[in-house]
Amino acid sequence: KHGPIALIDEKLPVVAIATGRRVFEKVRSNLQEVKARDGIVVAVTDHDPAELEGIADRIVRVPSLSEHLQPIVNVVPLQLLAYQIGVRRGADVDQPRNLAKSVTVE
């Protein structure tokens, strides 16, 4: 395999959005492939955790909403994850570098 799948190992977490019904089985199949390569799987899902048992190392549950509203709910844990990663890396999360001058932080 090549591309992003070649990067997967026990040190690289893969964060996946596994919500809704339309693509859930495809996402689940992709996560099984990640797990087969010893990847760490973090799943954001509105499904029963049992559906990802043995695949996801961590599950972040979100409520199930209509297809049009679901992305709004899905993004919240991802934003919090990005914030926490920035804090742990020592980044100034309140004053990011290269912030456009049109944005003001008070």
Encode pLDDT of 36-88 as tens digits: 999 999 999 999 999 999 999 999 999 999 999 999 999 999 999 999 999 99
How confident is the model over 10-22, as a mean pLDDT?
A: 94
Distances in whole angstroms, Cα of residue 38 to Cα of each of 6, 28, 34, 52, 70: 12, 15, 7, 16, 29
What is the number of structural domains in the chain?
Answer: 1
- Is residue 97 a part of any domain in this protein? no
**Structural domain boundaries enclosing 27:** 3-88
What CATH number is attached to the domain comprising 44? Answer: 3.40.50.10490
Q: Tell me if the pTM is above 0.85.
A: no
Give the up-direction half-sphere exposure of residue 63: CA atoms within 13 A in the CB hemisphere: 5
